Structure 1
Amino acid sequence: MRFNSKKDFWIGLLVWLVIGGGFIGTIFSGQWAIILVMLLTLLFFAWIWFGTYYVITNEILIVRTGPFKWSIKIKEIKTIKKTRSPLSSAALSLDRIEIKYSKYGYTLISPIEVEAFTEELKKINPNIQVKV
């Protein structure tokens, strides 16, 4: 089952204004190498913005953000709790959940439907402690 990432308006506005504005500014510079670098940067952030989601399979939680992908064994998930941590993560919103797994592993994600997401995980691993 696929869950899309929640996206904060202000994060999108900030990222798109800075990168889009930088790209438009470089077009007027006429320097093709810089234009190419800015275009690639714009495409990279578009890939992250539109390609951040989470997939729950029978045994694995797949966290995808653009070209990056993590796999977490659902049976190893210990806790899920709400957080507003601004740490870099596969989340496009500050309305996040922290998933702790294995001995020291954790990730921050921001599914739109947090309750449905946690229910699906608990169907596979009922031992998960949810503090949402």
Structure 2
Amino acid sequence: MTKKYPSKVSYGLLTFIFLVFYGPLIPDLINGELNAKSIGFIGVLSVVFAFIAHLFLKTQYTIDHNKLKIKCGLFSFKPIDIDEIKEISKTKSIISSPAPSFDRIEIKYGQFNKVIVSPKDKYHFVEDLTKINPRIKNKITE
């Protein structure tokens, strides 16, 4: 069984990043004070912002037999053996993770490992994980 779950995306967070990047340039745009250096800077910011947007929009979680695979844009994380997952719970942590939303869940696995994810359909995601490993302590539906 292979099942893919796209990540939920907080467009407010993406908008905030956009404003942080481009907000300081608004006075120059209004006053017409753009020069070649400013345009080059806008180009670099646009490439970086496009990369960040790609990470946000192309994050997905795949359950492939007994493995949980996490892909964040161009980056793939080491697959997690679902039999090693101990607990799944809601979290408000803002730690950097492959979760482009504030609606996040934390997966604890192995001895001390954890990853924070944000599947769009977290209930079915957790349900599919617990079907494979019924020993998972599910704190999402509690």
Choose the corresponding residue for 1:67, options 67, 74, 81: 74
How many pairs does the alignment contain?
132
- Secondary structure, counterpart of 1:121 in structure 2: helix
Cα–Cα, structure 1 residues 35 and 59, in superposed 2: closer, same or farther, change >3 Å?
same
Contact 2:90 2:104 in 1 (8 A): yes
Choose the corresponding residue for 1:114, options 82, 100, 122: 122
Deviation at 1:95, TM superposition (A): 1.4
| Distance (whole Å) between structure 2 residues aligned to residue 79 and residue 6 of structure 1 | 21
| Distance (whole Å) between structure 2 residues aligned to residue 87 and residue 72 of structure 1 | 19
Pairing 1:30–2:32 present: no
Choose the corresponding residue for 1:40, options 26, 40, 47: 47
Cα–Cα, structure 1 residues 122 and 42, in superposed 2: closer, same or farther, change >3 Å?
same
Q: Which runs of 5+ in 2 are unaligned?
A: none
How large is the RMSD of aligned CA atoms in angstroms?
Answer: 2.3
Cα–Cα, structure 1 residues 29 and 67, in superposed 2: closer, same or farther, change >3 Å?
farther
TM-score, length-scaled by structure 1 = 0.86
Deviation at 1:25, TM superposition (A): 8.8
Deviation string, structure 1 residues 58-107 (Cα, Å, up to 9, x no partner): 01111111222112111111100011111111111121110001111100
Larger Rg: 2
Stretch of structure 1 that moved more, 97-106 or 29-38: 29-38
Q: Which runs of 5+ in 1 are unaligned?
A: none
Contact 1:26 1:34 in 2 (8 A): no
Letter in 2 for 1:125: N
Choose the corresponding residue for 1:102, options 110, 129, 137: 110
Stretch of structure 1 that moved more, 30-39 or 55-64: 30-39
Residue of structure 2 in register with 1:50 after alignment: 57
User: Which aligned pairs between 1:72-91 and structure 2 lie closer than 5 A?
Assistant: 72-91=80-99
Pairing 1:128–2:99 present: no
| Distance (whole Å) between structure 1 residues aligned to residue 54 and residue 104 of structure 2 | 20
